[in-house]
Amino acid sequence: MNNTDARDLSPVHTFFIPVMGIGFTIDTPLKIAKYGVSSVISLVDDSFIEQMRRYHSEKAGEQYEQIGRKEEDYRARRITAYLNLVDRLVKRQVEELQVSPFETGSEITRYYELLPETELKAKYIQMTRTSDPVEKDLLEKELRLAAVPGSIDVNIMTKVDRMNYRKGAVLPPEYSDTRSALRGYANSTLRSSIVLSAGLNPQLYTYIAHFEDFFPNLEGKLKKQIVLKVSDFRSAEVQARFLAKRGLWVSEYRIESGLNCGGHAFAAKGHLMGPILEEFSKKKDELVQQTYDQYLKALPAQYQGSVTEPPNVRLTVAGGIGTADEHQFLLKYYDVDKAGWGTPFLLVPEVTNVDDEHLSKLAEATEDDVYLSAASPLKVPFWNLRTSASEETRRRNIVEGKPGSLCPKGHGAIFDMEFTKVPECIAARRYVTQKVDSLENADLTEDQRDWLVEDALAKSCICHDLSGGASIKLGIDLNATPCICCGPGIVNFSKIASLEEMVGHIYGRLSLLTNSDRPHMFIKEMSLNIEFLKDEIEKFKLELTTNGAKYFQEFKENLLKGIDYYRKTAEKFVETKRTRFLEDLKAQKEALEQLFASLPSEMLAEATG
C-alpha cells in the first residue's frame, strides 16, 4: 500500500505541525505520525540530529554506530541515518497500531477518536455502534487498512547555506550546509516532502535534480515531493518556474504569514494573508498549468511517458491560527487543504520538546514576554521569549563584560567577513566584541551608535540554543540554555495540554483559549505589520536602513488594500464576530493613518514624488 499517495488524496487530518526551531519538532513524527498527523523536522543541526539518533536508537534497542565529524560526507550521512531510523520506527508503530484491538485506550481507538468529522470518522462510529458481527468485522478490517501515518516531512532554510572547510580549504559546493542536508534527505527511505523556506537558492534548487526520488515513477507518482513555503504569490511563481525548468514539480504551496508566526519573521511589504490566499485560490490552476508546460519540456526523457497530467498540487497555510472558526474559514473559503498549527503545540509535552521550566514560562507568558527581536545572526527579525534561559544568558554575558556566544556549531557563520577572511557568525563573542569596539570610533551620531550597539549585543546563539529544550527534556545536555521561538499567539494559551485537548481545540470540540479578548488572526497580523513599519520608519529617520520613502508608501498602500479587502470579506463572518472584526479593522486603519501623519514632510514628499 502506498501510504504517501493515500495521504495526498485523502488526508485524515486537516492540520499539520510545521517545523519549529531546531529541537521542538525534531522527533515529533515518532510521537504523532502514527495517528495520521504530519509534522516537519529541521535539518539545520547535524550534530544535534546525531545526538537524537543515538538517543532514539538506544531507546528502541537498536544498535548505534557514531558518524564522526572527520568522516567523509558526515553531515549528509548523519541526516540520512536519522531519517531512516525515524521512518523505520514509525512504520513499526503503525504496524502495531493497525493490529491493536478496537477497545478503550488502544492505539487504533485513539487514532480514530482524534479524527475530525469526516467520512472515515463516520465509518469508525458506524463500526462501534453496529451489533452485526459480520458487518463489524468487515468494518474493522477496512479501518485497519485506512489507519495511515502522517507524513514525515523535513525543512531546509535555503539561505542558511554555510560553505564548509577542511584544514583551512573550502570544500566543493555540494558539501555546503543546504546541499548536504538535501543529499541526506534524498538518500533516505522516506516517502514525504521537503519544505523549502526563506526564498530561492539557485544552486540548491538546481542540485535537487541530481536525485531520482524527486522524479516520477512509472505510475507518475513522486516518492519525494517539494513544498515551497512562501509569503506571496509572486515568490511562489518565480520559484515554481525555476524548478519546473529543471524538470522538478512543486507539490504544495505553503503560505505562511510573514510576521504572525514563530521563529524568523519575513515582512512582505504589507502584503497580508487574506489577500494573498485570495490570489492563490484564483490563480492556482493557471500557475499549475503554466508550470506543467515547462515541467514537461524539461522532464528527462526517461520520465516523460509516466506523466500524462499535472501531478496533484496542495495549498496549505500557517501563521497565527488560534481558533476552530479560523481553521474552518481558511479551509472552506480559500479551499485550503490543511492549516498549520505550531506555537500552541509548544504547550503539548507529548508532541513537542520543551523542558519543564520553559513549559511554565510559556504558560505564563504575557505580551511583554514575547517580542520580535534582533537575536538571529541571519539578520532577520526573530520571535523570542524574553524570559528564556538563552535570553537570560545573553543579558548576563553583557553585564559580565563578555557579550556574544562561544559559537559551538557555527551554522550562522554565513555572511560576515568584516573582521576575518572567512565568514563568521555575528553572534560569536569575538565578532560582537570587535563590532562594539569599532562602533565607538565610528563616524556616527549618538543615536545611531546606540542603536547599532544594541543591535550587535542582541544577537544570540540560536542555532545551538534552539535545541536546548529537547536537550534538557531528553537528558542529552542538562546545562543547555534553551531559546524559545514561540509566535505572539502563545499569550492566548496558558494550559499545558494533552494531544486530545489540542486536537479537540483545533476541531472545535472544546476551547483552550485563555484570552477571551484575543483579536482575529487577520487583525493581529495587520497590527504586527503596523508595528514593524513603525520600527522601520525609526530606522529610516536614523539613516540606518536602505529602504527609501517609496518602500514605506508601498507598505502603506498594501496595508490599505488589505483593509479594504477585509472589509468586503467580513460579510463571511458570523454576525457577532463580524461587528468586532470591523471595529478592529477601523482601529487599525486609524493607527496606520496616524503613523504616516507623524512623518516629516520631506519624507512624505519623497514618497509621493
- Asked if residues 282 and 303 have their Cβ atoms less than 8 Å apart, the reply is no
Q: How many Å apart are CA 466 and CA 200, to the nearest integer?
A: 24
* Confidence (pLDDT) at 305: 86
Residue 218 has pLDDT above 70, yes or no: yes
Predicted confidence at residue 401, as pLDDT, reads 96
Compute the distance between CA of residue 439 and CA of residue 449 in angstroms, rounded to an integer: 6
The length of the chain is 609
Note the pTM of the prediction, 2 decimals.
Answer: 0.95
Mean pLDDT of 255-271: 94
**Average pLDDT score over residue span 500-511:** 98
Read off the pLDDT of residues 233-247 as tens digits, 9 standing for 90 and up: 999 999 999 999 999
User: What average pLDDT does this structure show over 489-506?
Assistant: 98
pLDDT in tens, 115-163: 999 999 999 999 999 999 999 999 999 999 999 999 999 999 998 898 8
Question: For residue 150, what pLDDT is reported?
Answer: 96
pLDDT at 260 > cutoff 60: yes
The pLDDT assigned to 407 comes to 82
What's the confidence (pLDDT) of residue 609? Answer: 40
317: pLDDT strictly greater than 80: yes
Cβ(367)–Cβ(488) below 8 Å: yes
At residue 164, the pLDDT reads 86
Q: Is the pLDDT of residue 105 over 50?
A: yes
Whether pLDDT at 605 is above 70: no
Instruction: Answer for the pair 339, 330: CB distance below 8 angstroms, yes or no.
Output: yes
Mean pLDDT across the chain: 93
The reported pLDDT for the residue numbered 573 is: 80
Q: What is residue 418's predicted lDDT score, i.e. its pLDDT?
A: 76
Q: Is 415 exposed, middle or buried (0-12, 13-18, 19+ CB in 10 A)?
A: middle
pLDDT of residue 412: 61
Q: What number is the average pLDDT over the span 464-491? A: 97
pLDDT-derived band at 176, boundaries 50, 70, 90: very high
pLDDT in tens, 370-420: 999 999 999 999 999 999 999 999 999 999 999 999 887 766 656 666 787
Report whether pLDDT(198) > 70.
yes
In the predicted structure, residue 283 carries a pLDDT above the cut 90: yes
Give mean pLDDT, residues 573-579: 83
Percent of the chain past pLDDT 90, that is, above it, reads: 86
Residue ranges of the domains in the chain? 519-609
Rounded CA separation 77/532 (Å): 41
Q: Please report, for residues 177, 260, 466, 527, the alpha-carbon distance to residue 383 in angstroms, rounded to integers and kept in the order given.
A: 24, 9, 12, 15
Beta-carbon neighbour count of residue 398 at 10 Å?
A: 15
Q: What is the pLDDT of residue 34?
A: 97
Binning pLDDT at 50, 70 and 90, where does residue 9 land?
Answer: very low
Q: Distance between CA atoms of 355 and 370, rounded to whole angstroms?
A: 18
pLDDT of 89 above 60? yes
Report whether pLDDT(259) > 60: yes
- Would you state the pLDDT for residue 409? 74
pLDDT at 266 over 70: yes
Residue pair 279/300 in contact by the 8 Å Cβ criterion: no
The answer, yes or no, to whether residue 3 has pLDDT greater than 60, is: no
510 in helix, strand or coil?
coil
What's the pLDDT at 603? 65
User: What's the chain's Rg over C-alpha atoms?
Assistant: 25
Q: Give the phi and the psi of residue 597 in degrees, each rounded to 5.
A: -70, -25
| pLDDT attached to residue 223 | 96
Does residue 479 surpass a pLDDT of 90?
yes
Q: What is the 3-state secondary structure (H, E, C) of 527-541?
A: HHHHHHHHHHHHHHH
Give the Å distances, CA to CA, from 151 to 8, 91, 214, 324, 522: 9, 11, 16, 22, 28
Higher local confidence (pLDDT), 183 or 574: 183
Q: Is the per-residue pLDDT at 7 higher than 50? A: no
Question: What is the reported pLDDT for 606?
Answer: 56
Task: Determine what percent of the chain falls in helix, strand and coil, rounding each to the nearest 5.
Answer: 50, 10, 40
